[in-house]
């Protein structure tokens, strides 16, 4: 393996920083695996040659080797260890780095919402919205296409979708949306209705009183149903109608 010019790195003996960050009582097996991957990735970034070395990860040897058996880390072979030893000017007993699946798992873990900690405090004026799985699937597609839509999702909606908390007993996804974001959701559900299922849009209109009306204007206005009457709501969210119940 080619490592470029042999320049010695400044190294430190293994110490407390070699332990898994955040590891402790109550962590699941998956949590511990992700924590080890993060430590390996941090050491890779700190090294010019891109390998995490044994003297930094000594206390984690067993866990690193176990992750290698699962295909999440790669252990350097004898020939490459010899090259690393020349680079470091000291014997390298073992070295590791993330495999592509290990990299992807760590990336996914960093962006996957944590129901107990990741959901942020609601924005001022935001409303609690509970969506069934089918609605959440449609909404994820809407935000996925954001860069290609001429009427993109409202600002902040993609982040709300990413950090939505799943209420397992109720089988609902909980978001906190502003008026503008709710109007944007109605537009996304209208797109879904026009290309397949009307359930998502109809349920959103029933529960929150908002449905997209393409005839209301080029910006994609919505109509809010209030006790049988209809009041226009601009896509900008600048005008709000009287509050409505969630409809159970």
Dump pLDDT digits (tens) for 8-57. Answer: 333 333 333 344 444 454 567 788 899 999 999 998 888 778 788 877 78
pLDDT of 99 reads 94
pLDDT of 244 reads 36
**Segment 108-117, tens digit of pLDDT:** 888 766 555 4
pLDDT of 156 reads 94
pLDDT of 10 reads 32
pLDDT of 91 reads 83
- CA distance readout (Å), 232 to 63, 177, 195, 239, 246: 59, 19, 24, 8, 19
**What letter would DSSP give residue 216?**
G
pLDDT of 124 reads 77
The residue with greater pLDDT, 202 or 76, is 202
pLDDT of 159 reads 92
């Amino acid at each position: 393996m080619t490592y470029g010019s042999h320049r010695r790195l400044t190294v430190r003996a293994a110490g407390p920083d070699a332990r898994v960050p955040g590891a402790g009582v109550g962590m699941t097996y998956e949590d511990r695996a992700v924590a080890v991957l993060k430590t390996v990735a941090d050491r890779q970034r700190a090294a010019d040659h891109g390998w995490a070395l044994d003297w930094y990860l000594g206390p984690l040897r067993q866990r690193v080797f176990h992750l290698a058996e699962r295909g999440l880390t790669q252990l350097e072979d004898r020939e490459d260890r010899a090259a690393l030893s020349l680079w470091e000017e000291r014997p390298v007993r073992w070295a590791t780095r993330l495999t592509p699946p290990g990299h992807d798992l760590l990336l996914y873990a960093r962006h996957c919402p944590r129901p107990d900690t990741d959901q942020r405090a609601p924005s001022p004026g935001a409303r609690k919205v509970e969506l069934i799985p089918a609605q959440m699937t449609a909404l994820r597609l809407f935000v996925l296409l954001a860069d290609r839509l001429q009427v993109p999702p409202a600002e902040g909606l993609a982040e709300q979708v990413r950090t939505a908390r799943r209420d397992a007993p109720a089988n609902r996804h909980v978001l906190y949306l502003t008026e503008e974001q709710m109007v944007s959701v109605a537009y996304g559900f209208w797109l879904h209705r026009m290309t397949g299922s009307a359930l998502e849009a109809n349920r959103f209109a029933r529960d929150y009183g908002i449905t997209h009306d393409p005839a209301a204007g080029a910006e994609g206005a919505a109509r809010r149903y209030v006790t049988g009457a209809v009041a226009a709501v601009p896509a900008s969210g600048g005008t709000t109608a009287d509050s409505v119940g969630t409809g159970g």
